Structure 1
Amino acid sequence: MIVIYHQNNKVVEVVQERAQLSFSSTNVLNVLLEIAQANPNQLLLWCDYDLKTNLNFPQIQNIFHHKKIMASYNPYLNSLLSGAIGYVEESPFIKINKKVTYPTWQMSSCAGGIYASVLLDVKNLIPAKGNFEYFLHSIAKLAMENGLFCYSEPLLLNGDFDKVQIKKNNTFVLFQFVKQHYKMRWVFLLFLNLFLYERKVTILPLISSLFYSRRNINKEILSTIEVCSSKNIAETENIDIIIPTIGRKEFLYDILKDFSLQTHLPAKIIIVEQNTNLKSVSELDYVQDEFWPFEIKHIFTHQAGACNARNLAMAETTNEWVFMADDDIRIDISFLKEAFIQIRKFGLEEITFGCYEREYDFNKKYLNEIQWETFGSGCSIVKRKFLKGIQYRKGFEFGYAEDTDFGMQLRNTGIDIVYIPKPEILHLKAPIGGFRTQPVLEWQDDLIQPKPSPTVMLYKILNLSKEEMNGYKTTLFIKFYKLQSIKNPIRYFSNFKKQWKQSLYWANQLKNRA
């Protein structure tokens, strides 16, 4: 590895295995690219000279365990872009948990690293000029969507940091970044949100940003870089399968047969069968009547709800890995074997698979491995030790966003949610799907109907920054206008505020159950 120490945007020294390397410029970007060109297979680190003694060398190989990883750490409170970036992007990558390894494109110049091969692949597409930290943000933002794994990594530095970063956020830089990395409309929405929620009139930054062109990179830009993680991620590869089911006897049988034919057999399958009829008994006679090459734990309950069912099933898991499955999916016989190949290849502790209907448009599929914004409750494998202490929150029962919230809980334990396109899962979307029982929602008879759905609002108040929340409110207001019957803008605005308030009320009621 090669370390570039910088101070006040100028290179102070470059070190490789305690030996000093020469460099022809004091500009950090120029030196970084110069070193990369001369050492295309090396890991390149950068570090603020004031943090030199804090750089945690024993953890470097564990952090950068394959070549498509970019990581940095900002120990201070603020960074290049202010929290106002949340007005533009609502995603898990905005509100960073600095206590754990956390996926984000928001990179820091304080300490970080990237493999030279990645840098060389993108250098001709992202101009190496201007602010060093802006350049790092730009690489991560564009390449993260195309297979680069980007993290805020506290293990990069030792020590406690309680002082506030002295640099001031620059509104011109914020608008420039939005213009270069998002669609044009977000520049104007940023301007609007800053005025609505912060009473800032940012006309000059808005005008200035219009002179910049949007940046793009080729989706296949990193395809030639081989990934082979050095992490010893799986000890036994023993796996439990959890399947909640209700009224899908035939579909469940088919997926059990698929599991029984696997070249890598599961150790145990936990089925949670639900039927709200208090006089009902299990209809899954084949669980006992047929031979299965794995243990089956069958739980029958009169309480409906996917959140409850998955929590019951997770409590019964005992093996190293857990596959969260649905009862209406189909898989090839080599699915679990190929899944563990991918887990070892990328050094993953969670993996979410492509799960598509048979006629799904292939062009709409994600073709690259990416850090995913959500989580698939019916198509994901997770290392069991990270499931301890987290559950599907009861407040989401019979609503939406429970899986997205579960993914956020995993991220906040330090686990990344990674989508892998292969092997695929076929989702049959059984016609008796959905909730299959019609729950009586507590707000369904309210005179003022909540907007958005209280469970969606619950997810947002639990996981979003205030800027993301306000940005969502603005876009919802704009999008919903053409879908509702009130066309008078003043009446619509008044009604929207009431609906939003009602949604907040119910979300907070649900939060107490979460």
Structure 2
Amino acid sequence: MIIVYHKANKVLKVSRNQGDLSFLSDTIAAVLVDLAQSYPNDWLIWCTIELESFLNLNQFKNIFHHHKIMASFTSTTQNYIPNAIGYVEESPFIKINKKVKYPSWLMSSEVGGIHASVLNIMGSKIKPEANFDYFLNSVAKLGMLAGLFCYSEPELVSNNTQELKKNYQANNYFLFRFVKQHYKKRWLLLLFFNLLLFEKRFPLLPLCYSLFFKSRKKTHFNLDTISVQSSLKTIDKKTIDVIIPTIGRKEYLYDVLQDLAGQTHLPEKVIIVEQNPIEDSVSELDYLQNEKWPFFIKHIFTHQAGACHARNLAMEQVENEWVFLNDDDNRFDRNLIEKVFAKITRYGAEAITTSYLKPDEIQQYKTIHQSGIFGSGNSFVKSECLKSVSFDKALEFGYGEDTDFGLQLRNQGFDIVYFPDLKITHLKAPMGGFRIPVKKQWEAEVVQPKPSPTILYVLRKHYTMQQLKSYKLVLFLKLLKHESFKDYLKFYKSFRQKWDRSVYWANQLG
């Protein structure tokens, strides 16, 4: 492990194995790149000199448990990249819970680390900036897309550290430059208009300044050459329960159970929550008792329909170390669970999601990476991660319950990793014949809310103010392009009314 101590964007000393190393440059990024070439098997740690005595070195083995991890932490309330990045970033990675390990490309120069093997690949294509914070955020933003695991990690420093009294946030020139180099071109204009509309700023010079910089978005980094073998032990008993909510899909559910019964690594228990909202109805799943199954089946029958309610009921019955959140119209190979445990062991993961395509879909994402989504029908989660989370019943029969659940997990400190070579086919079977149409609370409204109140509810619950405002502007522009010029004023008035009704009903859901 090599530690680079710095202050005011200049290197002060470099330590390795309790001895000091010489360095040719006082630019932090350049020193790290040079060290990576000289010591390709070492971890490279950076630390501002004020935090030297607070480095939590005894936790570093758990933090950097495989070579494709980059982590940092800032004790300040603001990140180097300002909150205005929410105007162009739609992901869950920028609203950081700094009390837990949280997946994010937002990096800090205060304290952090990266393996030399990663920097040797990426440092050769990203110019070592004099501005160290800009360099770190660029590496993380591009690296995350290539499969680098990036975190805000409070365990890097001991709990008795004080917030550093300094302002090191990027100004508008660096912000616009960052957007130009890491996002599609249209986001530059959207950033400009968001700042103009919502903050009454007119950053024309920063916008023009950014045009002189070359985009880094298409720069290719092959991090697959870096071997991954986590030192964390996230599997002990290797036991797993399976959760399946079902309603009116008897034949499809039978195929799912057959796929589970044929697994090379069998589940201990399958928890089936069967819903039938028709009064006095009884279970139609006769094969649960009529056939023998190589696992225990816990069958719950309820007249209360709703996937959120059903999954919450099922989670209360979980007893084993891991949970497979499954669906009643899935199909998968016989070695799925075996392969899942192999991936979990290799990456030290606590929550993973798989490829989840319909039979005729073509797979687009082929890199193992930190996922911005979560699938309640194709994910595997360690049981202890579920103790403080549940499916929000406010989203029953609406949209966004998967997104909300994934964000709850992240805010508890559990990352979600996507594995493209773990495949579950989603048949998207027709809805069960006895489903009763659900009438939304707002269906009788003269002015129908837009967007859906459940979507707005999730956005308001989990996203930043800037992300929400940008969502509103983008939605407005998408709808506006379908209107004729003479109807623009009428459309604007109608859009505001629909948005206001969505806000009203989102508040009612909460």
Q: Give the TM-score band, short-chain normalised.
A: over 0.9
* Unaligned residue ranges in structure 1 (runs of 5+): none
Paired residue for 2:283?
Answer: 282
Question: For residues 376 and 424 of structure 2, what CA distance do their matches in structure 1 show?
Answer: 13
Paired residue for 2:46?
Answer: 46
Paired residue for 1:328?
Answer: 329
Residue type of the alignment partner of 2:155: L
2:258 matches 1:265: no
Matched-pair identity in %: 51
- CA offset at residue 165 of structure 1? 3.5
- CA offset at residue 210 of structure 1? 1.2
Paired residue for 2:89?
Answer: 89
- CA offset at residue 162 of structure 1? 4.0
Paired residue for 2:476?
Answer: 477
Question: For residues 491 and 203 of structure 2, what CA distance do their matches in structure 1 show?
Answer: 27
Kept after mapping to 1: 8 A contact 2:51/2:161? no
- CA offset at residue 79 of structure 1? 2.2
Kept after mapping to 1: 8 A contact 2:357/2:424? yes
C-alpha RMSD of matched pairs (Å): 1.5
2:350 matches 1:349: yes
1:400-426 C-alpha deviation (Å, 9 max, x unpaired): 010000000000000001111122111
Paired residue for 2:440?
Answer: 441
Paired residue for 1:241?
Answer: 242
Paired residue for 1:374?
Answer: 373
1:145-190 C-alpha deviation (Å, 9 max, x unpaired): 1100000000001124345543354111101000111111111111
The alignment's TM-score, normalised by the length of structure 2, stands at 0.97
The alignment's TM-score, normalised by the length of structure 1, stands at 0.97
1:101-137 C-alpha deviation (Å, 9 max, x unpaired): 0000000000000000000101222111231110110
Kept after mapping to 2: 8 A contact 1:481/1:487? no
Query: Which structure 2 residues correspond to residues 284-433 of structure 1 after superposition, within 5 A?
Result: 284-362=285-363, 364=364, 366-432=365-431
Paired residue for 1:213?
Answer: 214
- CA offset at residue 355 of structure 1? 1.1
Question: For residues 171 and 434 of structure 1, what CA distance do their matches in structure 2 show?
Answer: 56
Kept after mapping to 2: 8 A contact 1:276/1:304? yes
1:370-415 C-alpha deviation (Å, 9 max, x unpaired): 1111100000000111101211011100000100000000000000
- CA offset at residue 246 of structure 1? 0.3
Question: For residues 477 and 441 of structure 2, what CA distance do their matches in structure 1 show?
Answer: 27
1:328-385 C-alpha deviation (Å, 9 max, x unpaired): 00111111000000000100000100011122123x2x11111111100000000111
- CA separation of 1:324 and 1:136: change in aligned 2, threshold 3 A: same
Question: For residues 330 and 275 of structure 1, what CA distance do their matches in structure 2 show?
Answer: 23
Residue type of the alignment partner of 2:196: F
- Name the SS for the 1:382 alignment partner: strand
- Name the SS for the 2:301 alignment partner: strand
2:501 matches 1:502: yes
Paired residue for 2:256?
Answer: 255
1:285-330 C-alpha deviation (Å, 9 max, x unpaired): 0111111111100000011100000000001101110110000001
* Unaligned residue ranges in structure 2 (runs of 5+): none
Question: For residues 129 and 308 of structure 2, what CA distance do their matches in structure 1 show?
Answer: 50
- Name the SS for the 1:488 alignment partner: helix
Query: Which structure 2 residues correspond to residues 4-15 of structure 1 after superposition, within 5 A?
Result: 4-15=4-15
- Name the SS for the 2:224 alignment partner: coil
Question: For residues 30 and 287 of structure 2, what CA distance do their matches in structure 1 show?
Answer: 67
Kept after mapping to 1: 8 A contact 2:4/2:45? yes
Residue type of the alignment partner of 1:224: T
2:68 matches 1:68: yes
Count of residues in Structure 1 that have an aligned counterpart in Structure 2? 509
Paired residue for 1:461?
Answer: 460
- CA separation of 1:509 and 1:112: change in aligned 2, threshold 3 A: same
Which aligned segments of 4 or more residues in structure 1 are displaced greater than 4 angstroms? 217-220, 433-436, 483-487
Kept after mapping to 1: 8 A contact 2:9/2:27? yes
Residue type of the alignment partner of 2:358: E
- CA offset at residue 221 of structure 1? 1.2
Residue type of the alignment partner of 1:27: T
Name whichever of 152-161 and 469-478 sits farther off.
Answer: 152-161
- CA offset at residue 435 of structure 1? 11
Question: For residues 483 and 246 of structure 2, what CA distance do their matches in structure 1 show?
Answer: 36
Question: For residues 117 and 487 of structure 1, what CA distance do their matches in structure 2 show?
Answer: 59
- CA separation of 1:163 and 1:434: change in aligned 2, threshold 3 A: farther
Residue type of the alignment partner of 1:440: K
